[in-house]
Chain A
Amino acid sequence: MDIKINSYTNNRALYEKALKYIPMGVYGHLGPSEGCAIPVSAFPIFSEKAQGAYFWDVDGNRFIDYMCAYGPNVLGYNDPDVDAAAFEQMKKGNCVTNPDRVLVDFAELMVDTVAMADWAFFAKNGGDVTQFAVMIARQATGRKKMVLTKGFYHGVAPWTQKLGYGGVIPEDVCNNLYIDWNAPEQFEALVKKYPGEIAGFISTPYYHPIFEDNKLPAEGYWQKIRKICDENGIVLIFDDIRAGFRLDIAGSDYHYGIKADLECFCKAIANGYNVSAICGTDALKSTIGDIMYTGSYWLSAVPFAAAIACIKKMKETKTQEVINAKGRKMQDGLVQVARTHGFDLRVTGEPSMWYMRLGNDLPSTLCHQEFVAECVRRGVFFTSHHNHFINQALSDEDIDYTWAVADEAYKIVKANHQADIDAGKIKLI
């Protein structure tokens, strides 16, 4: 198999230009620093175009993209059906004084699709709807405190960050209470400690922080949490921004056997078009009217049309089954490739959005970091810190190519660390 090593001349030049006009050149999780591009010389910074399972950078390098824009790409970039629906809507109208009827169509589809949903409300980003969910919980209960699981990520609003982070003050987080993942007894203890004070419990469907093995809910975990919420009038909020529509078309709460009170969606909902959604139960519907919450582009019609097409296609093609099967196949092969070089690749999380690291790495995790960099240099886009994503356009040929690249990458990493292996710091299997 012909494997090319990338060079990034145009990427570097454009980044230098970007630094003149944009703080940090590229900010946020798509930037080289938050995106953990280590070393930065191995990574592209700007994309030129994307199609299916790939994107091409401004140097013309092609990447099999296992980050999928950090989740939105679920059917494949530029999916023809989703794009056609969006372009058709664009001809009719997008951001208009009155919303387009497609708003109602989309809400109806969400209610028909998401098992827990009696209504739907739309915004733009995941953080818009997790913030709204917390406001709804507080308004509905008249309480202040929120329970979160450690290792959480619910956006970038101050309450979702931690004390010590830039711009966050104690008052922003003073109503947050934290428990460990898979620890309903800790939730129960908090409920006893703060009787009548807890408005909501917000959590992702399973534990998928960065830099850590992902953990699925233990048997009966969500049922216990649901019961505690029911017995104490606490609103159960599923942050399904990342996992939504990757585990189950009916919602991740449904996937794990319960019904949340509020469920937040974004990422895979519209295959990259900018829309987020919060769905809720009838009991909370009237509360919405008591809260002022809106945004300039929240009722734009084009993303709604795209989302409708995306959800319909996901249903028709059984996307969740397909991407989990592709993910499992790719990851199983990757584990085998690693093993042939003596490395113990550990895969955790659900197959459509798995996390991986080496079980026999140095404490610095340097081997895995180097492995990722060598893969990216060869056109397979992984990251070393975050869970990955599978999209439906990923082909068997792409998986074969990925394995071939991984084989080369592990060979290089092993050679880089022969001294560590000889010294017993890395114990090959």
Chain B
Amino acid sequence: MDIVTRAKINLFAVLRNLQELCTLDKASQEAIKDANLSVGFKVPSVGEATLVFKDGKCTFRRGDSKSSLKLIFLSAEHFNKLIDGGKTIPIFFNVFQAGFLLKTFITLADRLSYYLQPEKTPAFKDQPEKLAELLKDQEYFNISTTLTACTAFFALCEVGNSDPIGKLTAARIPDGVISCTVKGGPALNITVGKDHVMTAALGEVSDWRASMEFADMQFASDILRGKTDTFTGMGTGKFAIKGFVPMLENMAKLLAQVAFYLK
């Protein structure tokens, strides 16, 4: 596994999810309702990103921007350790905002873990029955699946742009836009541009070159959690593809690599 790619996934796919989390999850909305600051992340060889908290909303911005609180990491590994829940302290500027990190940010991180990896949270660890009950909660299930989908599709772009084998796969994807939709759920799109650089975005697109559609949230969840495969879905009609298939074929290979990174 490539450490830099993993850090890119952590920064630009996992952490990015705080934006959606604060829209979908009531507890997170409550946590940020009075927040008015921005938090910057700077990771060598990986890049920079900023989370802006304002007017009860969270916005994720890729790249360098002014922030009231800046976290600077020594390396990709250093950043990965933080995301993995390890005891690590970044260098940060503006100590007066540290309270936000210790309270609100930790609340958000916990909520994100609750939706993305509930089995690893103290409340559900080694408690399969309790976890099964949680997954039956439709609201929880929808938020969890939406955030998992966002993580996966943003992550696959990082794999295609950064991982040595992922880059080979991305080089085989013709230019154009791939539409990814879940009926009754989120819509994302991936643009493959010059030099096969991949970028993900939220929302439906009409001018796609290839399209994939999950028939429902349950099937999307099953695919993203590795309980079934897209080939089976194509046969049953629960995963419908259209358009220029080589784009999707190679995208599926990147998605398979994402699973290794997010394990």
A binds B: yes
Report A355-394 CB contacts with B as 1/0, cut-off 8 Å: 0000000011110010000000000000001000000000
Q: How far is the CA of A25 from the CA of B229 in the complex (A)?
A: 11
Name the segment of A32-40, A114-122, A129-137, A242-250 touching the other chain: A32-40
Query: Which chain B residue has the least Cβ–Cβ distance from A24?
Result: B231
Q: CB distance A19 to B253 under 8 Å?
A: no
Cβ-neighbour of B253 out of A38, A166, A366, A385 (below 8 A): A166
* Interface pair A365/B231, CB less than 8 Å apart: no
Q: How far is the CB of A38 from chain B (nearest CB, A)?
A: 6
Known A-B contacts A31-B231, A163-B168; A36 and B245 likewise in contact (beta carbons under 8 Å)? yes
Chain A contacts of B172 at CB under 8 A? 162, 164
Residue in A19, A24, A364 with the greatest tally of chain B CB atoms within 10 Å = A364
A366–B211 CA distance with the chains assembled, in angstroms: 10
Give every chain A residue within 8 A of B257 (Cβ-Cβ): 164
Q: Does A45 contact B (CB under 8 A)?
A: yes
Report yes or no: A33 in contact with B234, Cβ–Cβ below 8 A: yes
- For the complex, is B47 an interface residue (Cβ under 8 Å from A)? no
Q: Which of B168, B237, B250 contacts A39 (CB 8 A)?
A: B237
Please determine whether A385 and B168 come into contact, CB atoms closer than 8 angstroms. Answer: no
Contact mask for chain B residues 226-263; partner A; CB cutoff 8 A; 1 contact, 0 none:
00011110111100111111100010010011000000
Distance in angstroms between the alpha carbons of A38 and B245 in the assembled complex = 10
A41 to B237, CA, bound (A): 7
Tell whether, in the assembled complex, residue B209 and residue A363 are in contact, meaning their CB atoms are under 8 Å apart: yes
Q: How far is the CA of A166 from the CA of B260 in the complex (A)?
A: 12
Q: Which residues of A contact B169 (CB under 8 A)?
A: 164
Is A45 in contact with B235, judged by CB distance below 8 angstroms?
yes
Q: In this assembly, does A70 line the interface, its C-beta being within 8 Å of a C-beta of chain B?
A: no
- CB atoms of B208 and A364 under 8 A apart: yes
Q: A369 vs B246: C-alpha distance in the bound complex, in angstroms?
A: 13
A347 to chain B, nearest CB (A): 20
Taken together as a complex, chains A and B put the C-alpha atoms of A365 and B243 apart, in Å, by 6
Main secondary structure of the interface of A (DSSP, over half): loop
Interface residues of A, CB < 8 Å — how many?
30
A165/B253 in contact, CB under 8 A: yes
Minimal beta-carbon separation of B257 from chain A (angstroms): 8
Q: Which of A1-28 contact B (CB under 8 A)?
A: 15-16, 19, 24-27
Task: Tell me the nearest residue of chain B to A26, going by C-beta.
Answer: B235
Contact of B242 among A25, A41, A165, A364 (CB under 8 A): A364
Contacts A162-B168, A164-B169, A364-B209 given: A16-B243 contact, CB under 8 Å? no
Check A369/B168 contact, CB under 8 A, given A33-B234, A45-B235.
Answer: no
1/0 per position for B171-186, CB-CB distance to A under 8 A? 0100010000000000
Question: Does B3 count as interface, using CB distance less than 8 angstroms?
Answer: no
Give chain A nearest CB distance to B239 CB in angstroms. 9
A385 to B241, CA, bound (A): 13
Within 8 A of A (CB), among B214-236: 229-232, 234-236
Quick check: B176 and A363 within 8 Å, CB to CB?
yes
**Are A164 and B236 interface neighbours, CB within 8 A?**
no
- A221 in the interface, Cβ–Cβ < 8 Å? no
Q: Hey, which chain A residues are within 8 Å of B208, CB to CB? A: 364
Interface residues of A in 381-420 (CB under 8 A from B): 385
**CB of A293 closer than 8 Å to a CB of B:** no
- When A and B form their complex, which 4 residue pairs have the shortest distance between CB atoms, in order from nearest? A364-B243, A164-B169, A33-B231, A33-B234
| Other contacts beyond A15-B236, A40-B235: 14, CB < 8 A | A15-B235, A24-B232, A31-B231, A32-B235, A38-B241, A39-B242, A40-B236, A40-B240, A164-B168, A164-B169, A164-B253, A364-B210, A364-B211, A369-B243
Could you list which residues of chain A lie within 8 angstroms of chain B, going by C-beta atoms? 15-16, 19, 24-27, 31-34, 36-41, 45, 162-166, 211, 363-366, 369, 385
